[in-house]
A and B are shown apart, each in its own frame.
Chain A
Amino acid sequence: SAVISQKPSRDICQRGTSLTIQCQVDSQVTMMFWYRQQPGQSLTLIATANQGSEATYESGFVIDKFPISRPNLTFSTLTVSNMSPEDSSIYLCSVASLYTEAFFGQGTRLTVV
């Protein structure tokens, strides 16, 4: 299994600012993903973080709003830019490798005021 560390675990931010969330895995993994979970809702996939290249975004999500980096096989960041109260959600990192199930971090609970 993979152990995932997400930082920060929670934050309260002012609208118009940006927050960068970090995801660190204790072993090399093939795939890394970022999800958003709005209050009372299921998880929605934001993007696939690709090592050394631009992330692959799902419909409805754009790089300008959610820039993602993945400099190596164990680390990725998600930035939530120019935040508004509608961005208040839990953001989760997920990892998977060949022939294994996906593992999820404990999430970053973001509140935008």
Chain B
Amino acid sequence: DAKTTQPPSMDCAEGRAANLPCNHSTISGNEYVYWYRQIHSQGPQYIIHGLKNNETNEMASLIITEDRKSSTLILPHATLRDTAVYYCIVPSGTYKYIFGTGTRLKVLA
């Protein structure tokens, strides 16, 4: 089973920040949190990952709570092209990615 839970869907206005939450309450001390997105049934695209510090790259920011039991992916200025299903994943074993149901983000014009 997936180690993460996410809301099934969210809407966001174009140009606004999209904040996507994820719960991973059973995460172990050395396990990373990864975020991917899938657009129109293409292959999942890597966004960002982190261990315990907040991370930022050209696509997004990742905020991980101090107890590491939850995290939030932030798309700072959502565009229509960010409409996708977003998956939060904590790999189990050796790089095995078990996908949950993800969050279907719809960016509204």
Contact = CB atoms under 8 A, between A and B. Distances in A.
Interface residues of B, number: 21
Contact of B41 (A30, A37, A48, A94): A37
Contact of B43 (A33, A42, A44, A106): A106
B49 A92 contact: no
B44 interface: yes
Contact of A33 (B36, B41, B87, B96): B96
A102 B97 contact: yes
Nearest to A32: B95
A104 to B, nearest CB: 4
Contacts of B36: 104
Interface residues of A, number: 23
B98 A45 contact: yes
A45 B97 contact: yes
B23 to A, nearest CB: 16
Contacts of A35: 99
**Chain A interface main SS type:** strand
A104 B43 contact: yes
Interface in B72-96: 85, 87, 91, 94-96
Contacts of B41: 37, 90, 107, 109
A43 B99 contact: yes
Q: Could you say which of A42, A48, A90, A103 has the most chain B C-beta atoms within 10 Å of its C-beta?
A: A42
Interface of A: 4, 30-31, 33, 35, 37, 42-45, 48, 90, 92, 94, 96, 101-107, 109
5 contacts: A43-B44, A45-B96, A104-B36, A104-B43, A109-B41
Interface of B: 34, 36, 41-46, 49, 85, 87, 91, 94-102
